[in-house]
């Protein structure tokens, strides 16, 4: 071959490669624009005209923060439009929510969610929703249907136009018809998410079977004596039965407070609310403003539910935190060895209700699953397939009764004063909530509202009870008029933070399990010392990162180790803590050292407890605090060599762990290098590419912790997963304007400008204003179908 021919051949290959790369680049560019176009065409329409099943024109103004302001002439058109708008922005979230609560995720996901589906089929949230529907008024049923009509109008349009969100394509499905039961089931799921302590009863039972009576009782929940309250004054294998139980965050709780005009700069009440729930993309909450001929209300609602659950209208404002009462009771059941469908009660065998709940699984055969319900409720130890024993546990829970929370919400939205608001609360049964209230007439009020069972002995709520004995049955609930309540207190404010509601003088038992008192005591501290409080003060308090747990224990720890022989690095760590101002600030090392130290203390103290039941140890922090206050008088501490030994060993491990992670220069350690918030999308865990695409932002350093008013609870890897899902402040001097943060943003569509626009706002405390008058924004007209 000649040199010239060889060069020509090489040139030809080079030309081919260049041409191939060119075609590939063009293909990638075309693919990018195709995918971009495909995803963008499912963006919610916020301008123009859409035909939906309404009787007259509805106008939707979408403001600069993505908040829809819906104006309709009548209730039917208003709630139909609300359903359509919610579905435009959150239909994938709505689909996952109803499926998770109903136990039908496996139809979409496959085997990975079978255990979850078994659990929720066992609880029977959807069965409870179906029972509840029959107890709703005809007016409330109409609202549920109108809302469903709006959702279904969107689903119909999106299927016809190929504009469903890309998530449906990725998992290979389409949403089915929306029904009123779907909305009620999502409501029941929120009752589940706010819990009721059955897991702690199971854990206490485990303690009694594994440790001495005295040692077990030390971990039984108790509220620290002298701390503030809201109102002045047969063997069952627990580890096997509940290994896969889905336990909500123990204190899906919140902060809220309301302040009399006597303590505000404006002379009118101030109200603040920040519900603490799981953080993700999109937000649990959807902010909306609804206006018709007899309604003008603004605030937030769960995607998939009509109305406004938290917020304000033209006359009143309100907020909630979780009361956390003992509304879940485990019962030990004796099963007939000769007939697995019968359970003992008062010497007789009673037939249980056997419910067929077949679980469809994507790509697999349907799982034949059966739920057993005794007189008390579902047998919850059965879902783990430990069904060969003759002793099981069933669950009695108020949320599994027929309840009418949505009816209450619809009436709350229209209330104009405390009397009307409290009247509406008669229909709000589960979950029990701490409602704070304010009105333009100057009234401030509080009520712990919901169905709370009467226990003759508060200790009965600590353990599973004998299900075969009549004397342990729930027979009644605290009368509505005797639930904890206060109106216009002398101190001029009311605050709640999931802490103990009432002192020993209150005649009824509410709970044995409460949040640690630190958030409430910090809120009280700030509100008590100022008589000219403003909206900005409320925002600052919601973002307050003062750690009263550290303020209590750091001096004790340092004093205890005063005479101990410590390494130079350990001494430096104590010096950092001495100089710390007890603020969980991202730029400080103090909160990082303190947090890791407590984790190591608990690892030592509780090393004898099986890993399989640790997830049932709700309120562990409260128990740890109480044991540390006991010091060497605690068996759990004494068994590990005493308080000095535990503190020394845990400090050594703390310093070593932090040096491994952040280097030996303690002056460079920062809380924010560890403590970061990330709003994860449900599909982000499928693979890294989807995580990169759908997650709202890279993790951002954030102040606060699990015990500060700025609530930011984190996993072992430091990622914050739980905190203020919505922040709200309002001054009733101008009740038309509310101040909000909805992290990460309003929209569930990844290409929307409102998908993640509030992430940094959430971290930094930048609120947006939403008005219920003079709406401005992009205008969408929803007109009657032709």
Interhelix angle 75-102/114-123, rounded to 10 degrees, is 120
User: Stretch 514-521: mean pLDDT, rounded?
Assistant: 93
Tens-digit pLDDT profile for residues 445-498: 999 999 999 998 888 999 999 999 999 999 899 999 999 999 999 999 999 999
Q: Which of the four pLDDT bands, split at 50, 70 and 90, describes residue 253? A: low
| E-only strand ranges, 222-327 | 254-259, 270-278, 285-292, 295-302, 310-312, 316-322
What span, in angstroms and rounded, lies between the C-alpha atoms of 96 and 92?
6
Element (H, E) at 170: helix 166-171
Q: Do 727 and 275 touch, CB atoms closer than 8 A?
A: no
Q: Which of the four pLDDT bands, split at 50, 70 and 90, describes residue 248? A: low
**Residues belonging to the active site:** 254
What span, in angstroms and rounded, lies between the C-alpha atoms of 92 and 168?
7
DSSP state string for 13-74: HHHHHHHHHHHHHHHHHHHHHHHHHHHHTTSPP-SEEEEES-SS-EEEEE-TTS-EEEE-SS
What span, in angstroms and rounded, lies between the C-alpha atoms of 230 and 257?
11
Question: Which pLDDT belongs to residue 690?
Answer: 83
Rounded to 5 degrees, what are φ and ψ at 91? -65, -35
Q: Do 304 and 294 touch, CB atoms closer than 8 A?
A: no
Tens-digit pLDDT profile for residues 558-593: 999 999 999 999 999 999 999 999 999 999 999 999
Q: Which of the four pLDDT bands, split at 50, 70 and 90, describes residue 37? A: low
Q: Do 126 and 102 touch, CB atoms closer than 8 A?
A: yes
Question: Which pLDDT belongs to residue 662?
Answer: 97
* Residue 524 vs residue 691, higher pLDDT: 524
Query: Is 50 exceeded by the pLDDT of residue 206?
Result: yes
Q: Is the dihedral of CA 562, 567, 571, 574 positive or negative?
A: negative
Structure-block tokens of residue 233: 């004054």
Instruction: Compute the half-sphere exposure of residue 379: CA atoms within 13 Å on the CB side of its CA.
Output: 31
Tens-digit pLDDT profile for residues 645-684: 999 999 999 999 999 999 999 999 999 999 999 999 998 8
Structure-block tokens of residue 47: 């301008």
Q: Which of the four pLDDT bands, split at 50, 70 and 90, describes residue 221? A: confident
Closest CA relative to residue 224, chosen from 506, 518, 474: 518
Strands 68-71, 285-292: pairing is parallel
Burial (CB < 10 A; 0-12, 13-18, 19+), residue 1, is: exposed
Structure-block tokens of residue 138: 């005809």
Question: Which pLDDT belongs to residue 775?
Answer: 74
Closest CA relative to residue 696, chosen from 684, 704, 713, 712: 684
Rounded to 5 degrees, what are φ and ψ at 221? -65, 140
Angle at 440 between CA 438 and CA 441, to 5 degrees: 95
Locate tokens 């712990």: which residue?
448
Domain ranges of the chain: 548-582+589-669
Rounded to 5 degrees, what are φ and ψ at 148? -60, -40
Q: Which of the four pLDDT bands, split at 50, 70 and 90, describes residue 223? A: very low
- The neighbouring-strand residues paired with 367 are 359
Q: Any known ligand binding at 326?
A: yes
User: Stretch 19-43: mean pLDDT, rounded?
Assistant: 54
Q: Return mean pLDDT, the chain.
A: 90
User: Stretch 524-552: mean pLDDT, rounded?
Assistant: 98
Instruction: Compute the half-sphere exposure of residue 553: CA atoms within 13 Å on the CB side of its CA.
Output: 24
Question: Which pLDDT belongs to residue 457?
Answer: 87
Query: Is 80 exceeded by the pLDDT of residue 635?
Result: yes
């Amino acid at each position: 071959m000649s040199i010239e021919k060889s060069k020509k051949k090489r040139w030809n290959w080079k030309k081919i490669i260049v041409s191939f790369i060119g075609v590939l680049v063009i293909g990638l560019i075309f693919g990018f624009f195709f995918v971009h176009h495909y995803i963008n065409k499912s963006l919610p329409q916020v301008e123009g005209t859409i035909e939906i099943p309404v009787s007259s024109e509805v106008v939707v103004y979408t403001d600069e923060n993505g908040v829809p302001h819906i104006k309709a002439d009548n209730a039917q058109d208003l709630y139909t439009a609300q359903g359509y708008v919610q579905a435009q922005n959150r239909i994938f979230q709505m689909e996952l929510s109803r499926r998770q609560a109903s136990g039908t995720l496996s139809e979409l996901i496959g085997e990975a969610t079978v255990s979850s589906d078994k659990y929720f089929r066992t609880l029977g949230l959807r069965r409870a929703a179906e029972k509840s529907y029959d107890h709703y008024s005809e007016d409330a049923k109409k609202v549920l249907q109108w809302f469903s009509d709006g959702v279904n109008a969107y689903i119909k349009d999106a299927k016809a136009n190929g504009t469903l969100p890309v998530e449906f394509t990725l998992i290979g499905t389409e949403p089915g018809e929306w029904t009123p039961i779907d909305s009620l089931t999502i409501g029941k799921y929120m009752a589940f998410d706010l819990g009721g302590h059955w897991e702690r009863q199971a854990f206490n039972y485990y303690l009694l079977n594994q440790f001495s009576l005295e040692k077990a009782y030390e971990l039984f929940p108790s509220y620290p004596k002298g701390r503030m309250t809201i109102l002045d004054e047969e063997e069952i294998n627990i580890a096997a039965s509940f290994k896969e139980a889905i336990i909500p965050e123990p204190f899906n709780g919140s902060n809220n407070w309301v302040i009399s005009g006597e303590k505000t700069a404006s002379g009118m009440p101030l109200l603040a609310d920040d519900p603490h729930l799981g953080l993700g993309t999109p937000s649990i909450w959807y902010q909306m403003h609804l206006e018709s001929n007899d309604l003008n209300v603004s605030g937030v609602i769960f995607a998939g539910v009509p109305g406004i659950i938290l917020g304000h209208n033209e006359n009143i404002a309100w907020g909630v935190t979780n009361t956390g009462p003992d509304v879940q009771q485990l019962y030990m059941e004796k099963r007939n060895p000769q007939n697995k469908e019968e359970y003992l009660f008062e010497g007789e065998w009673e037939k249980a209700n056997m419910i067929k709940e077949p679980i469809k699984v994507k790509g697999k055969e349907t799982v034949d699953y059966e739920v057993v319900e005794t007189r008390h409720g579902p047998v919850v130890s059965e879902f783990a397939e430990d069904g060969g024993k003759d002793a099981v546990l069933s669950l009695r829970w108020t949320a599994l009764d027929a309840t009418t929370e949505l009816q209450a919400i619809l009436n709350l939205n229209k209330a104009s004063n405390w009397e009307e608001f409290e009247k509406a609360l008669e229909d709000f049964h589960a979950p029990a909530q701490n409602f704070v209230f304010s009105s333009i007439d100057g009234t401030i009020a509080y009520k712990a509202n919901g169905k709370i069972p009467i226990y003759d002995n508060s200790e009965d709520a600590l353990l599973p009870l004998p299900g075969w004995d009549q004397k342990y049955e729930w027979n009644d609930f605290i009368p509505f008029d005797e639930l904890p309540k206060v109106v216009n207190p002398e101190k001029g404010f009311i605050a709640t933070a999931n802490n103990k509601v009432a002192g020993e003088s209150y005649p009824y038992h509410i709970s044995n399990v409460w949040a640690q008192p630190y958030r409430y005591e910090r809120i009280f501290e700030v509100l008590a010392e100022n008589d000219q409080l403003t909206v900005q003060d409320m925002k600052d308090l919601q973002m307050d990162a003062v750690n009263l747990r550290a303020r209590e224990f750091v001096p004790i720890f340092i004093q205890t180790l005063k005479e101990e022989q410590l390494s130079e690095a350990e001494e430096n760590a104590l010096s950092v803590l001495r100089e710390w101002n007890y603020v969980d600030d991202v730029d400080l090392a103090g909160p990082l050292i303190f947090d890791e130290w407590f984790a190591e203390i608990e690892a030592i103290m509780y090393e004898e407890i099986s890993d399989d039941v640790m997830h049932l140890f709700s309120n562990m922090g409260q128990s740890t605090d109480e044991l540390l206050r006991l010091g060497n008088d605690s068996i759990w501490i004494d068994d590990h060599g005493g308080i000095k030994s535990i503190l020394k060993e845990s400090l050594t491990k703390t310093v070593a762990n932090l040096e491994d992670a952040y280097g030996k220069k303690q002056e460079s350690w920062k809380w924010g290098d560890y403590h970061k918030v990330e709003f994860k999308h449900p599909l982000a865990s499928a693979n890294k590419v989807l995580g990169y695409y759908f997650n709202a932002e890279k993790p951002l350093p954030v102040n606060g912790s699990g015990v500060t008013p700025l609530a930011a609870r984190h996993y072992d890897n430091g990622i914050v997963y739980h905190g203020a899902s919505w922040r709200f402040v309002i001054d009733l001097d101008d009740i038309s304007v509310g101040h909000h943060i909805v992290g990460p943003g309003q929209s569930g569509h990844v290409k929307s400008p409102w998908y993640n626009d509030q992430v940094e706002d959430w971290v930094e405390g930048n609120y947006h204003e939403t008005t219920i008058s003079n709406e401005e924004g992009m205008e969408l007209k929803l007109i009657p179908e032709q």
